Every structure is written in C-alpha cells, then in structure tokens.
Amino acid sequence: MKRAFFERPVLEVARDLVGCTVRHDNAAGVIVETEAYHDSEPACHAFVGLTPRTATLFEPPGRAYVYRSYGVHAMLNAVAEPEGVGAAVLIRALEPVAGIDAMRERRGLDRLEDLCSGPGRLTQALGIGLDLNGTDLLTGPIRVEPRAPGWRERVLATAPRVGITKAVELPWRFTAEGSRFVSRPRPRAGALA
DNA sequence: CATGGGATTGACT
DNA sequence: GTCAATCCCATGC
C-alpha cells in the first residue's frame, strides 16, 4: 500500500479499501465493509476539533486511529486525507483469510461469519487493542495490503452509516454486495456505488 | 469536579 | 425485540 492511497478524499479511500487486506499478529482478513468520517460533518469525532481524543485523526494519512467504543470495544480506523484534515475510514467487517484458529480462540466462537462481522468483533479477532492507536498502517504492527486480483470487479453497495445519531442521512457506508461477512444491519440490495 | 453520551455486542424475554 | 456492560473524554458549572 502506498502513502498516497490514504492521502485522498476519504470517500474514495473508503470505497477503495473494500477488497484490501488487514493483517495483524498472524491473522488477516479482506475488508468487506467500511464507513467514511470527515471533520466537516457532526458524526465524526474530529468535528469538535483537535482534542486529546481526536489528535490521531489530524495526523498524517495511513495511520491507525483506534478508540474505545461504549467503554468496551476497540474500533479500527485508517486515517485519510492530508495531515491537518480530521478524516478516517472505519473498518467495519472482514472476511477471514488467515489465522482463523487464532481468531476463533480470541473470539471464543467457531462460526466463520461471527469472527469479524462487526467493528468491535474484528479488532478482537485480530488482537488489535487501544495501544496501537497512532501506529502506521504501512510499516507498523497492523498492515493494510492492496486488493488481490479479482476484487476490482466486486460490486459495492452504499448505505447510511450504522449506530450514529448525527448526519444520519449521508450514505457513507460501503459494503461488498452479497458478502455474508458484512455486519448487521445488512443493507438492502439496489443502492449501488 | 460532575455528568452524559457514545462509530457495539451478546445475553436474555 | 429489549437492555445492560463499561470507561474515556468533552462539556458545563
């Protein structure tokens, strides 16, 4: 993955990350669902400006923004756009492709579809914790790798983002159409990107 | 310094 | 479908 990939409009990065691979600690999955967040809209953490919590979002593109959700779960984002712009792509679901036994162990579950089909689930499956906030996705412990041949053809669906209360109308969620590894709620077929 | 609210999940009715 | 868990941090007094 090249640095320039992340230094682009966050909607483009969100779309193009579907089909790429996330790897950590000998486990990996192909991204099947993303959401875009940008400091110009109130659902984004960076909307409030530069604070200790949001600092990573304004850092150079290609870094990991990892934060705690509901006091329980770790959420993994890829920082996008030039340094100084608060924007990131939330990785919401993966199709497991490597280290599946390790994932099952960390999740305490067997079903392949339950391992990484949600933002809190995939961080647990990959062993990604808050300590990795700010690390580099090109050189650090978490790696994002380009699409394998064939994923270019995959059809994307757009939908409203999940679990937010502001800017709910923006269709900034992207899913690999028909994938059984997408998190709930599964978007209706038809709204193609 | 007190308070409220999550970019969720899993267990339970 | 409903609901609690759990904790950091932004905000307001």
Query: Which chain B positions have some atom within 7 A of a protein CB?
Result: 5-10
User: Is the CB of A37 within 7 Å of strand B?
Assistant: yes
- Asked if A73 and A66 count as a contact pair (C-beta separation under 8 A), the reply is no
* Strand B contacts in A 91-150 (CB under 7 A): 107, 109, 114, 118-121
Q: What is the pLDDT of residue A88?
A: 98
User: Is the CB of A69 within 7 Å of strand B?
Assistant: yes
Grade residue A47 by pLDDT with cuts at 50, 70 and 90.
very high
Grade residue A148 by pLDDT with cuts at 50, 70 and 90.
confident
Q: Which nucleotide is closest, CA of A185 to its C1'?
A: B8
pLDDT at A17 over 80: yes
Q: What is the pLDDT of residue A157?
A: 95
- Asked if A91 and A78 count as a contact pair (C-beta separation under 8 A), the reply is yes
Could you tell me whether strands A143-145 and A87-98 are parallel, antiparallel, or unpaired per DSSP bridges? unpaired
Average predicted confidence (pLDDT) for chain A: 95
The per-residue DSSP string of A86-111 comes to: -EEEEEEEEEEEE-HHHHHHHHT---
Contacts 24+ apart (CB under 8 A), A109-116: A112/A181, A113/A180, A113/A181, A116/A29, A116/A181
CA–CA separation, A73 and A130 (whole Å) = 9
Q: What is the pLDDT of residue A87?
A: 98
Q: Any idea what the Cα angle at residue A73 is, between residues A70 and A75, rounded to 5°?
A: 105
Average pLDDT over residues A164-181: 96
CA–CA separation, A27 and A121 (whole Å) = 13
- Model pLDDT for residues A151-166, shown as the tens digit of each residue: 777 799 999 999 999 9
Supply the pTM of this predicted model. 0.95
- Model pLDDT for residues A67-92, shown as the tens digit of each residue: 999 999 999 999 999 999 999 999 99
- Asked if A79 and A36 count as a contact pair (C-beta separation under 8 A), the reply is no
| CA A42 to mean position of chain CA atoms | 19
Q: What is the pLDDT of residue A192?
A: 58
Q: What is the pLDDT of residue A177?
A: 93
pLDDT at A32 over 90: yes
Quick one: tokens of A95? 């199709």
* Smallest CA–C1' distance to B6, residue: A70
User: Is the CB of A153 within 7 Å of strand C?
Assistant: no
Query: Which chain C positions have some atom within 7 A of a protein CB?
Result: 5-11
User: Is the CB of A51 within 7 Å of strand C?
Assistant: yes
Average pLDDT over residues A23-42: 97
Grade residue A188 by pLDDT with cuts at 50, 70 and 90.
low
